[in-house]
């Protein structure tokens, strides 16, 4: 059993530097919840050249398995090798090839990714802290730890390998060191290699699976309905990779088993995951699909390792999104295992000791078993109706499996039980098939109704809580809280919830009255309530406002209630420490630890107070015990370094926090809020870089020490540092940045930073005031102009001002490639003439080439201005990397250019040339970064192919393609997602029917278009409650109501064109054009003439 650190050289494709522009993607949907990325910068470009890059790897290895970790890449497992058969039981990707899949951009496939506190993990591509530990039994543990920059929750995960076990044990601690409840989920995301012989092995009691958000449901493993727009009505086994043609997620609706697996029936090997289903209920499979679409993503993510699926396992979660609350300073724990297995087939039950399969086919019974360590003299026992069929004594181990086939076994499978025990009779695994019964398929989830539709305040409260907990992308919890407060202004729960929401947004004073109203209702008849939450929240609000005496009273009252005792005693300890009352502070810290023994913040404070009291021996005892819980905790490491003054302890502290500003500021805040200003300064000086927030925090600390000149020097120094990537997110950042504006009122960057904070928190008016102040004080800095443009357009509806400010930003920062894209997006909303937009992009070709979105905009404009060959040539000269969920944009322009070029050939009588172009349009080059979905229908291409072959006199091919052109979408729909079939294809179905001599069917198609448009145009647009991934991540709000109107006018125009009512068609085209000048369908068909029959 070894644990080694090695340098691995892995071929790697580079990524561009993350965007310095703050990204306020407040309406983006991602993996079923919010796609908000702030305060993370976003990477929007990956490169196509690879180079060898060194990675520091940690490798755990015994006689059976080898596991390789890459701490530089989020602590992911890079490889898991079964040494007994040299089988990679998780997908081994031999290249680091990022694609734009992650929340913040870069994401790689392969190995096991650990997704927390959401999926995919925001820092999946960033380094994390780690350390190792040896144990007396010869086992070894790699510990990784990380603090989420967005919400402040923390993980500590131990990966333990034992000398004689063919499994990896994972011990997880999820904690919330913040003062407010936070939500999290944990999905371990192993990729497994797949082929035509692989199968996902869900437990035998899984009869139904859910989609994201439980928005859709399918029976399992044999699907018999439509799922992900695929018709499985013939009865299809969707546990088999070969049977799932499109990108598909499914998650077990329920299981009482503790395992999930995958098996390659050809290689006779696979992966198993084992965990208690009470804490780890999540069992999920995701695939890109086995068709061209999936192969395109394989190409994006690997060079030669082929397809994979993700076989995810969720802890404290059973769906995506499905978040669990962590109360302030709460910990949750879980344990799970990953292991290989072989020669067993489709496992029916598994434990960490063994896996077993039992199959009955007529009167033939097959039993197979595998164990994770050596069990000499083990027993494999088969019984039928309680009577032994056999009890075979065998030596089992990871290299010696068991298989037996018995003939002439009567009865049903449910009569049988197989049990594997060790030599002394201890059960390793057992399995009895469940009785056959009709299983009820659960209903899909339903959307939460609008606030005014809910009947009671109880419903409104829980609706708001759900939206907060699940981080909903488009429905806002405050609308539900405020509706309830409109009905009952004194409602305790709603006042407390809304006050907490305001506090989270940095509106400390505004939150106070709501907590007071909650207390007034709660204490109306009972001054000693069950819950102390309102008193505790009031205390937090008062502290942030500097009202410590009143906060002390509120916290003390909160200690009367069990749910807030530990955190309130900790808050009292901080106040007493700040007041210099060390003995009282120590008392309150002990009271907190009595109720929350593992709280590392309280332990840090206790060690600090003991050190201040000169009780160094007791302080060391606390630190030794605490560091055994988490040897990477910054506060403990700092106190250890201060206590010992040893060079090794100093170096360890610098190693863990020197490059991690978020950890530095969090620890500095602890000392600043307890008036331990010298310690705060010492912590801040540990940061190895130079960053404005660090300088501002130093200024705040020195000011509190009364050193106003030094404070001003640091404030001024911070104002001179680069403002790039400064995205404040901590509530204490508000306190510091407010202070900086008083000590150095000429600093234009502090209000810019604080404006970023408030805009992200949806306090738009406050953000605008701060950014306008920044513009006045720092008129040469581009970013506040750019941010104001977003606010003016989206929130204040001052479009002209928005455009002027964005143009000013670009003038000040003319090398900012994203601003070119954003400007063109705004020009499009202004209906700027297409040639002008094209000229703008061509004038900045160097910047356009740096971004796929700008480049697609350029190609689109070439198509829209009739330069089809130039559009096609531009497409072929570029390699694209689409965002997951944003597929379809490049391929649409590819098809558009070739179809229009083919139409020109048809017009010129060059029918074979038209056929060649149209055949080319049916196949997407890999350089487009997109593959074709097998459920997609190429009605427009097929129509023109049929027409071209008809002109060539090739009636057989003409009929074939024209008939294909009539198949596809049967009813017009909106088009929101990449896999939605365009509704205008129905027009071409009608044209195809005309060419086939079936005019009555053609007329029916045209009437459908008109009818849909006439009805849909009066509908009020409502964002899909269950949106999983919206393809557009734009900063400027889309007017979906207007887009709906354009869509309806367009479809009605096509219908009238088909019906030969040209005047009506032109009237509809004109209505659409009055709203937008860049609808490609309108541009294509405004002068359309139906081909002759």
DSSP of 438-474: PPPPPPPP-PPPPGGG--SHHHHHHHHHHHHHTT-SS
Average pLDDT in the chain: 96
Note whether residue 224 is domain-resident.
yes
pLDDT bin (cut points 50, 70, 90) of residue 814 is very high
Q: What is the pLDDT of residue 768?
A: 98
Note whether residue 265 is domain-resident.
yes
The per-residue pLDDT for range 1022-1063, each reduced to its tens digit, is 888 888 776 566 789 999 999 999 999 999 999 999 999 999
- Averaged pLDDT for residues 534-544: 98
Q: What is the pLDDT of residue 1026?
A: 87
Q: Are residues 174 and 258 in the same domain?
A: yes
Note every long-range contact of 932-935, with CB atoms under 8 Å and residues 24 or more positions apart, other chains counting: 932/291, 932/292, 932/293, 932/891, 933/245, 933/246, 933/289, 933/291, 933/292, 933/293, 933/979, 934/245, 934/246, 934/289, 934/291, 934/292, 934/293, 935/229, 935/230, 935/245, 935/246, 935/979
Q: Are residues 228 and 361 in the same domain?
A: no
Higher pLDDT, 252 or 119: 252
Q: Are residues 327 and 365 in the same domain?
A: no
Q: Are 784 and 752 in contact (CB under 8 A)?
A: yes
Q: What is the pLDDT of residue 1023?
A: 83
CA-based torsion, 251, 252, 254, 259: positive or negative:
negative
- Averaged pLDDT for residues 45-69: 98
- Closest Cα partner for 494 from 468, 515, 508? 515
Note whether residue 378 is domain-resident.
yes
CA 1090 and chain centroid, separation: 46
- Averaged pLDDT for residues 235-253: 98
Q: Are residues 362 and 413 in the same domain?
A: yes
Q: Give percent of the chain above pLDDT 90.
A: 95
pTM of the predicted model, to two decimals? 0.96
- Averaged pLDDT for residues 869-894: 96
Q: Are residues 261 and 159 in the same domain?
A: yes
- Averaged pLDDT for residues 844-863: 98
Structure-token pair, residue 518: 């909650």
Q: Are 743 and 717 in contact (CB under 8 A)?
A: no
Q: Are residues 155 and 195 in the same domain?
A: yes
Cis peptide before 619 (omega within 30 of 0): no
Given 412, 431, 450, the domain boundary residue is 431
Residues 6+ apart with CB under 8 A from 572: 552, 555, 556, 559, 588
CATH at residue 363: 2.60.40.1930
Residue 922 has pLDDT above 60, yes or no: yes
* CA dist., res. 1012 & res. 1071, Å (int): 16
| DSSP secondary structure code for residue 73 in this structure | G
The per-residue pLDDT for range 722-731, each reduced to its tens digit, is 999 999 999 9
- Averaged pLDDT for residues 118-146: 95
Q: Are residues 199 and 296 in the same domain?
A: yes
Q: What is the pLDDT of residue 439?
A: 84
CA-based torsion, 841, 842, 846, 849: positive or negative:
positive
Structure-token pair, residue 317: 């979660």
- Averaged pLDDT for residues 114-131: 93
Q: Are residues 323 and 361 in the same domain?
A: no
Residue 978 has pLDDT above 60, yes or no: no
Say how many domains are in the chain: 2
Residue with tokens 């729909």: 973
Look at phi and psi of residue 179 and say left if phi exceeds 0, alpha if psi is from -120 to 50, else beta.
Answer: alpha
* CA dist., res. 926 & res. 919, Å (int): 16
* CA dist., res. 1006 & res. 367, Å (int): 61
* CA dist., res. 88 & res. 340, Å (int): 9
Three-state DSSP string of 681-694? HHHHCCCCCCCHHH
Note whether residue 219 is domain-resident.
yes
Residue with tokens 């448009």: 1013
Given 392, 410, 431, the domain boundary residue is 431
Measured in residues, the chain has a length of 1093
Given 413, 431, 449, the domain boundary residue is 431
Residue 671 has pLDDT above 70, yes or no: yes
CATH at residue 193: 2.70.98.10
Q: Are residues 242 and 337 in the same domain?
A: yes
Alpha carbon distances (Å) from 687 to 151, 308, 462, 558: 21, 41, 42, 36
Look at phi and psi of residue 287 and say left if phi exceeds 0, alpha if psi is from -120 to 50, else beta.
Answer: beta
CA-based torsion, 619, 546, 152, 737: positive or negative:
negative
Q: What is the pLDDT of residue 29?
A: 87
The per-residue pLDDT for range 461-491, each reduced to its tens digit, is 999 999 999 999 999 999 999 999 999 999 9
Note whether residue 547 is domain-resident.
no
Alpha helix (H) residue ranges in 966-1061? 985-995, 999-1016, 1040-1058
Q: Which residues pair with 53 in a beta bridge?
A: 10
Residue 947 has pLDDT above 90, yes or no: yes
Q: Are residues 118 and 187 in the same domain?
A: yes
Note whether residue 400 is domain-resident.
yes
Q: Are residues 179 and 260 in the same domain?
A: yes
* CA dist., res. 969 & res. 332, Å (int): 48
Note whether residue 728 is domain-resident.
no
* CA dist., res. 944 & res. 942, Å (int): 6
Domain that holds residue 419: 349-431
Residues 6+ apart with CB under 8 A from 591: 559, 565, 569
Residue 850 has pLDDT above 90, yes or no: yes
Q: What is the pLDDT of residue 546?
A: 96
- Averaged pLDDT for residues 746-774: 98
* Element containing residue 555 per DSSP (H, E): helix 548-558
Residue 980 has pLDDT above 80, yes or no: no
- Averaged pLDDT for residues 536-543: 98
DSSP-assigned states of every residue in 223-248: E-SEETTEE-TT-EETTBGGG--S-E
Q: Are residues 380 and 263 in the same domain?
A: no
* CA dist., res. 761 & res. 41, Å (int): 16
Structure-token pair, residue 715: 């404030």
Q: What is the pLDDT of residue 230?
A: 96
- Closest Cα partner for 116 from 305, 314, 306? 314
Note whether residue 938 is domain-resident.
no
Q: How many degrees, rounded to 5, is the angle at CA 457 between CA 455 and CA 461? A: 120
pLDDT bin (cut points 50, 70, 90) of residue 975 is low
Taking each helix axis from N to C terminus, what angle separates 565-578 and 533-544, rounded to the nearest 10 degrees? 30
Taking each helix axis from N to C terminus, what angle separates 661-672 and 692-704, rounded to the nearest 10 degrees? 10
Alpha carbon distances (Å) from 805 to 624, 682, 798, 811: 56, 41, 11, 10
pLDDT bin (cut points 50, 70, 90) of residue 979 is low
Residue 198 half-sphere exposure, CB side, CA atoms within 13 Å? 24
Residue 976 has pLDDT above 90, yes or no: no
């Amino acid at each position: 059993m070894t644990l080694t650190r090695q340098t691995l050289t892995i071929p790697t494709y580079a990524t561009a530097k993350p965007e310095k522009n703050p990204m306020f993607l407040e309406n983006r949907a991602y993996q079923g919840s919010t796609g908000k990325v702030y305060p993370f910068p976003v990477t929007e470009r990956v490169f196509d050249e690879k180079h060898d890059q060194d990675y520091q790897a940690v490798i755990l290895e015994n006689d059976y398995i080898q596991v390789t970790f890459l701490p530089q890449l989020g602590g992911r497992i890079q490889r898991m090798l079964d040494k007994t058969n040299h089988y990679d039981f998780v997908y081994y990707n031999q290249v680091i090839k990022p694609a734009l899949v992650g929340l913040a951009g870069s994401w790689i496939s392969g190995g096991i990714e650990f997704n927390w506190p959401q999926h995919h993990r925001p820092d999946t591509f960033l380094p994390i802290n780690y350390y190792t530990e040896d144990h007396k039994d010869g086992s070894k543990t790699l510990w990784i730890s990380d603090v989420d920059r967005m919400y402040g929750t923390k993980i500590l995960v131990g990966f333990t390998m034992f000398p004689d076990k063919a499994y990896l044990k994972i011990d997880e601690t999820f904690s919330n060191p913040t003062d407010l409840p936070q939500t999290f989920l944990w999905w371990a995301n192993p990729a497994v290699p797949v082929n035509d012989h692989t199968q996902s092995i869900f437990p035998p009691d899984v009869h139904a699976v859910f989609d994201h958000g439980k928005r859709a449901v399918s029976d399992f493993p044999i699907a018999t309905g439509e799922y992900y727009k695929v018709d499985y009505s013939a009865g299809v086994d969707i546990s088999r990779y070969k049977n799932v043609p499109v990108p598909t997620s499914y998650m077990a609706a329920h299981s009482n088993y503790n395992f999930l697996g995958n098996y390659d029936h050809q290689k006779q090997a696979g992966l198993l995951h084992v965990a208690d289903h009470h804490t780890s209920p999540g069992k999920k499979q995701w695939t890109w699909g086995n068709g061209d679409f999936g192969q395109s993503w394989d190409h994006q993510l690997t060079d030669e390792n082929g397809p994979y699926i993700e076989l995810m396992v969720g802890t404290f979660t059973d769906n995506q999104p499905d978040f669990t609350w962590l109360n302030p300073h709460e910990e949750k724990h879980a344990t799970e295992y990953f292991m290989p297995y072989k020669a067993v087939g489709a496992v029916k039950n598994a434990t960490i000791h063994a896996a077993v399969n039992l199959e009955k086919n007529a009167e033939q019974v097959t039993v197979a078993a595998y164990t994770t360590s050596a069990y000499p003299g083990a027993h494999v026992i088969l019984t039928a109706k309680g009577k032994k069929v056999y009890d075979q004594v065998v030596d089992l181990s990871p290299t010696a499996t068991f298989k037996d086939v018995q003939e002439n076994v009567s009865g049903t499978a449910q009569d049988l039980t197989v049990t594997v025990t060790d030599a002394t009779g201890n059960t390793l695994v057992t399995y009895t098939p469940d009785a056959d019964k009709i299983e009820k398929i659960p209903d899909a989830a339903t959307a939460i109704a609008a606030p005014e539709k809910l009947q009671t305040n109880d419903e409104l409260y829980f609706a708001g809580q759900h939206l907060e907990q699940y981080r909903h992308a488009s429905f806002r919890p405050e609308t539900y809280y405020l509706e309830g407060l409109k009905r009952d202004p004194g409602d305790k729960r709603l006042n407390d919830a809304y006050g907490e929401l305001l506090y989270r947004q940095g509106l400390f004073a505004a939150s106070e009255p709501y907590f007071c109203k909650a207390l007034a209702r709660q204490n109306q008849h009972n001054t000693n309530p069950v819950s102390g939450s309102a008193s505790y929240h009031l205390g937090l609000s008062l502290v942030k406002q500097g009202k410590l005496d009143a906060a002390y009273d509120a916290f003390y009252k909160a200690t009367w209630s069990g749910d807030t005792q530990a955190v309130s005693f900790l808050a009292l300890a901080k106040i007493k420490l700040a007041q210099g009352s060390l003995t009282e502070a120590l008392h309150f810290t002990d009271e907190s630890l009595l109720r929350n023994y593992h709280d590392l913040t309280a332990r840090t404070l206790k060690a600090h107070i003991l050190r201040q009291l000169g009780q160094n021996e007791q302080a060391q005892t606390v630190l030794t015990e605490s560091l055994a819980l988490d040897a990477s905790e910054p506060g403990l490491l700092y106190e250890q370094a201060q206590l010992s003054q040893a060079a090794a302890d100093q170096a360890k502290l610098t190693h863990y926090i020197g490059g991690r500003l978020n950890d530095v500021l969090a620890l500095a805040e602890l000392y600043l809020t307890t008036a331990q200003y010298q310690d705060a300064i010492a912590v801040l000086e540990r940061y190895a870089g130079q960053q404005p927030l660090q300088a501002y925090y130093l200024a705040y600390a020195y000011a509190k020490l009364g050193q106003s000149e030094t404070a001003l020097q640091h404030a001024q120094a911070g104002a001179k540092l680069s403002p790039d990537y400064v995205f404040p997110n901590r509530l204490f950042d508000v306190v510091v940045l407010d202070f900086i504006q008083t000590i150095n009122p000429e600093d234009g960057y502090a209000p810019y930073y604080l404006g970023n904070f408030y805009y992200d928190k949806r306090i738009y008016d406050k953000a605008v005031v701060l950014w306008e102040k920044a513009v006045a004080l720092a008129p040469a800095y581009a970013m506040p102009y750019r941010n104001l443009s977003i606010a003016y357009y989206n929130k204040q509806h001052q479009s002209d001002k928005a455009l002027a400010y964005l143009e000013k930003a670009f003038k000040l920062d003319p090398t900012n490639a994203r601003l070119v894209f954003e400007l063109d997006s705004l020009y499009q909303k202004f209906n700027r003439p297409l040639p002008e937009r094209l000229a703008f992009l061509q004038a900045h070709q160097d910047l356009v080439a740096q971004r796929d979105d700008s480049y697609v905009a350029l190609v689109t404009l070439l198509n829209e201005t009739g330069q089809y060959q130039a559009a096609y040539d531009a497409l072929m000269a570029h390699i694209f990397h689409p965002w997951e969920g944003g597929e379809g944009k490049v391929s649409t322009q590819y098809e558009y250019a070739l179809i229009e070029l083919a139409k020109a050939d048809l017009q010129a009588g060059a029918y074979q040339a038209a056929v060649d172009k149209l055949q080319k349009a049916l196949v997407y080059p890999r350089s487009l970064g997109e593959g074709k979905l097998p459920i997609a229908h190429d009605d427009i291409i097929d129509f023109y192919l049929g027409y071209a072959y008809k002109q060539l006199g090739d009636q057989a091919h003409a009929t074939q393609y024209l008939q294909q052109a009539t198949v596809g979408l049967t009813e017009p729909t909106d088009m929101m997602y990449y896999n939605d079939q365009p509704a205008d294809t129905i027009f071409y179905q009608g044209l195809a029917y005309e060419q086939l001599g079936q005019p009555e069917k053609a007329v029916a198609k045209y009437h459908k278009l008109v009818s849909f448009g006439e009805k849909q145009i009066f509908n009020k647009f409502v964002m899909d409650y269950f949106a999983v991934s919206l393809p557009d991540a734009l900063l400027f709000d889309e007017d979906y109501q207007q887009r709906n109107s354009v869509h309806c006018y367009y479809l009605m125009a096509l219908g009238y064109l088909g019906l030969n009512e040209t005047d009506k068609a032109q009237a509809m085209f004109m209505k659409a054009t009055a709203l937008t000048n860049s609808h490609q369908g309108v541009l294509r068909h405004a002068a359309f003439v139906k081909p002759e029959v």
